[in-house]
Amino acid sequence: AGALAALYLAQRNCNVVLVEKAPIDKDAMGTTVGPRTYNILLAKRSLLALEGAGVKLGDDESIMITHIVRYRKGAKKFMAFPAHVPWSRTINRGSLAGLLVRACEAYAGGKQQGSGSIKLRTGYSLSQLDVAARKATFAPVGADSSSQGQGQAGGEPFTLTYDLIIGADGTFSRLRQVLSEDAGVKASPEGPLTFTQEQDTMMYKPFTLASLQGLSIPLENVGSKFVVLADPKRNHSLFIFPTKDGVHRGTYLMPDGDHASHKSESDYVASLSDSFPVLNQAQLREIAAQLPGTPASSGGFNTRCSRLHAPGALLIGDAAHAMWPSLGQGASSALEDCAVLGKLLGPGPVSKAQLEALPAAFSAARHADVVAAVDLTEAGFGGKMQRTRAASPINLHMARFIGQMLLSKALPFLVPKPALMTLNDTTTPYTVVQHRVERQRVGGNIVLGGLALLAAYGVARAVMP
């Protein structure tokens, strides 16, 4: 999100310094497995945001997803949900970062006539901030206790005077923390900037898989399908993406503590065999062999901020609204933040007065929407509410969803498809999706209640003399 925001600003004649904690391999194609190299799913809202800054994902960097396919333990077949072609693509996280950095390099030193410039500084993190004076000091990562992340300590701290500082520095945003503690921000008419965070109880480990051929339930054209294998009772899931290098890349998601209880490859083989019998023995062993020595990473945090701005500063992406991966909206919503910035600024060139007004305008335009996105992840597939219901004998959440989906296929002119299915194929605001989800929940409960009453009436008639 930081690199994309830099592009939107530079294209409007702003001079930008893009500071990144970690070095970015601009030529990376995502062949390395690690906590930060997993694949992400990009939908219409994020692809339009990229295109708005002149970044178009092609077949060289990404894969078009035609279907999202789900297998639930014990099922006789896969359940396939058509993706919104061509607005559904998967790309490795590192590959997307490299692509955006290459786009930013085109603006180094003001190379683009009629535009601003972008200067990239890697290996640094925000150390100190003077909100009143609009001065930010950055220190080498690892050289300062306030600089979070991994990197090599080297170089000297530097200080910048800014008109606008944008925090796209992740879930544990240093800028957000500083703004929340600043006395001037606390004393502002809008009051303090506060935030809450809730950690996901799920942990994941990444893996690669050479092939999805040979499943006990055949699956065709796996090179264009995002595959989810689920064991709801144990809350174990595999998320498997196709990649440009021909190898499937995935993550194995378990409740906190379960990975720690798996000490050996044989432990993982046993667990995978129990939860995902659709995999063959070679696939089970291939995945299990990679897991014992791999550290487990958190599924993430849900972050809610009281607002997204302070004088001369604003927050985007995970710094503003980190969310669990249950609906796959983290990257899409972060990139969409940048499109909102671009829309608010207009075609440019941008004046200092516009930059001064931008933080409050962005917060007003975006805050309710991103809070709704975070709320939706708690009710979505794999979210907190769904996890507590999954092991129940009667899963009303899933029953409502499947019922809505079947009715929408049978009566498309009368019944809309489940609102959660519109997240990845529309630019409809998250607040609107949230309203529709709630309306469908109430309607679904009424329908299920009516069916229960009819069933009870039928039973009573059957047993009465």
Cβ contact 101:26 at 8 Å: yes
Token output for 424: 């990845």
Token output for 304: 């809610």
Q: Which amino acid is at 30?
A: G
Pairing outcome for strands 225-231 and 67-72: parallel
Q: Give CA–CA dist 316/299, Å, rounded.
A: 20
Q: How many residues are given for the chain?
A: 465
Q: DSSP alpha helices (H): ranges in 262-411?
A: 265-275, 281-290, 318-321, 330-345, 352-379, 384-390, 396-410
Q: Can you say whether the dihedral through the CA atoms of 367, 368, 373, 375 is positive or negative?
A: positive
Q: Give CA–CA dist 65/50, Å, rounded.
A: 18
Pairing outcome for strands 236-241 and 248-255: antiparallel
Angle between helices 330-345 and 2-10 (to 10 degrees): 20
> If you write DSSP's letter for every residue of 93-130 in order, what string do you get?
HHHHHHHHHHHHHTTGGG-STTS-EEEEEESEEEEEEE
Per-residue tens of pLDDT for the chain, all 465 residues? 999 999 999 999 999 999 998 876 656 555 454 445 678 889 889 999 999 999 988 888 888 888 889 898 988 888 887 777 778 888 988 889 889 988 999 998 766 666 889 999 989 999 999 999 999 999 998 754 444 433 444 578 999 999 999 999 999 999 999 999 998 889 888 889 999 999 888 899 999 999 888 888 887 877 788 999 999 888 899 999 988 878 899 999 999 889 999 999 999 999 999 999 999 999 999 999 999 988 998 878 899 999 999 999 999 999 999 998 878 889 999 999 999 999 999 987 899 999 999 999 999 999 999 999 999 888 765 555 555 544 444 455 566 666 666 666 666 666 667 777 777 767 789 998 888 888 877 665 555 456 556 666 565 666 666
CB-based contacts of 120, cutoff 8 Å, min separation 6: 18, 20, 101, 104, 105, 108
Q: What pLDDT, on the 0 to 100 scale, is given for residue 383?
A: 54
Cite the beta strand spans of 194-300 per DSSP E: 195-199, 202-209, 225-231, 236-241, 248-255, 297-298
Token output for 288: 């299990």
Left if phi > 0, otherwise alpha if psi is -120 to 50, otherwise beta: which for 149? left
Pairing outcome for strands 236-241 and 225-231: antiparallel
Alpha carbon 354 to its chain's center: 29
Q: DSSP alpha helices (H): ranges in 217-351?
A: 258-261, 265-275, 281-290, 318-321, 330-345
Q: What pLDDT, on the 0 to 100 scale, is given for residue 460?
A: 63
Q: What's the predicted TM-score (pTM) here? A: 0.85
Q: What pLDDT, on the 0 to 100 scale, is given for residue 392?
A: 47
Q: Give CA–CA dist 287/371, Å, rounded.
A: 36
